Amino acid sequence: MEIVAIIGVILLALLFAFLIYRAARTYDAGAHATFITAKGGEYYGALRAPITLWNPMIKVLKDKHAPAISIITLDPSGTDYFEKSLVTRRTGEVSLRVHVCAPRPFISRTSEKKQLRIKTRVAFQLDIERIQIPSQMEAFGATLGARIENLFDNAIGQYEDQEVFARQSEIEASVLRQLQDIEFPPDPMHPTGMPLGIKVYEAIFSYEPVSSSGVTGDGVRGPMAYAKDDLDDLADMLEKADPKTVEVIMRMMEMQTRQNIVELLCKSGGLVAFTAPELGLSERPIDRALSGINRMTPVAAEPAPAPAQPAQTDGSDTPAAAAPVDPAAAYYGLGAPKQH
């Protein structure tokens, strides 16, 4: 009986050990996730379905041995960028779902050197057939982000600023095609880049103009604030513009320049008055006689009639000399000063 009891305990212990080993070595792989395995320190393969690894020589890479696969993406609100890991390091699970890589915004220049701030989004999925490529890369996310930025920058740089909006779909299709060709080159003997082991499904971007360093105090840019490089860019643009368009632009620059002058003068704290023609708002001449005099100019004043002179007491027939005319009184039309 004792032998039977001992054998029963041993069998029960073996059963518990079997169940524990099976639970620890069973992995829920499938279409949504996989696990990277190694054997003898070398890459062995990726699990494709729920399986129990009975061979103790096959190990799943997890914890500190788990591959580092991460990307930069946006939160659901679309405002904050953060680094997202595609690997659960504790279990070694590698996500096979479709993810969106959204590199941080960057500055791109169009063909006429106009600056645009670009935001990009690329939808992709890790390819289980080539999962060893991203699992063995040092910086998968940085490489993918730099590739996306470079391809969009090159594509946008082929067009002028006003063409980017009209050609946006073409630019996106071109970048998507290039990303797919790198992963699956039409001619395997002449690849266009290093594949990252992914499938790319979508590549989109949005943009907004970037104001240069020359900005007025209220944030509105004026022609007097243009730097030398900006003036060179403006000259290149005007060379290709229609004469009527150039005339309108020059008129607007003239008006902005006048506005800048007025703002600078008004900041002095003194009272400054301007007429419409002086501001370039009207071509109609102003009659100074009706509107008043606003600058000190010589005015021909008629001599005031000499006051009656008292009779000479010395008996002489020579008339007395007329009183001198005050220039200031004559300028403002106040007449001759009173005699005391």
Q: Which CATH number do you get for residue 187? A: 3.30.479.30
pLDDT confidence of residue 295: 47
CA–CA separation, 286 vs 282, rounded Å?
A: 10
> Does 53 share its domain with 27?
yes
Question: CB neighbours (10 Å) of residue 314?
Answer: 5
Domain boundary among 143, 175, 209: 209
- The reply to whether 43 falls in a domain is yes
- The reply to whether 46 falls in a domain is yes
> Does 185 share its domain with 163?
yes
> Does 74 share its domain with 189?
yes
The alpha carbon of 187 is separated from its chain's Cα centroid by a whole number of angstroms, namely 37
pLDDT confidence of residue 32: 94
List all residues 6 or more positions away from 266 whose beta carbon is below 8 Å from its beta carbon.
Answer: 272
> Does 100 share its domain with 169?
yes
List all residues 6 or more positions away from 24 whose beta carbon is below 8 Å from its beta carbon.
Answer: none
* Tokens 């590698």, located at residue: 94
> Does 200 share its domain with 253?
no
> Does 75 share its domain with 53?
no
> Does 47 share its domain with 87?
no
- Angle at the Cα of 40 (from 35 to 43), degrees rounded to 5? 40
Print the domain residue range for 242. Answer: 227-265
Question: CB neighbours (10 Å) of residue 312?
Answer: 11
> Does 102 share its domain with 175?
yes
Question: Is residue 274 within 8 Å of residue 286, measured between CB atoms?
Answer: no
- The reply to whether 292 falls in a domain is no
Low-confidence ranges of the chain (pLDDT < 50): 214-219, 291, 294-297, 299, 337, 340
> Does 54 share its domain with 147?
no
- The reply to whether 123 falls in a domain is yes
Q: Which of 48, 25, 46 is nearest to 37 (CA)?
A: 46
pLDDT confidence of residue 241: 73
* Tokens 């109609």, located at residue: 284
- The reply to whether 33 falls in a domain is yes
> Does 101 share its domain with 201?
yes
pLDDT tens profile 159-174:
988 899 999 999 999 9
Question: Is residue 51 within 8 Å of residue 29, measured between CB atoms?
Answer: yes
pLDDT confidence of residue 151: 97
pLDDT confidence of residue 329: 56
Domain boundary among 60, 79, 110: 60
Question: Is residue 159 within 8 Å of residue 110, measured between CB atoms?
Answer: yes
- The reply to whether 259 falls in a domain is yes
Residue 316 tokens, joined: 């002489």
> Does 36 share its domain with 134?
no
Compute CA distances 295 → 194, 274, 292, 301, 331, whole Å. Answer: 75, 11, 9, 16, 12
Compute CA distances 309 → 40, 316, 318, 335, whole Å. Answer: 133, 13, 12, 17
- Count of domains for the chain: 3
Could you tell me the pTM of the whole model?
0.64
pLDDT confidence of residue 82: 95
- The reply to whether 312 falls in a domain is no
- The reply to whether 86 falls in a domain is yes
> Does 83 share its domain with 120?
yes
Q: In angstroms, how far is the first alpha carbon of the chain from the final one?
A: 153
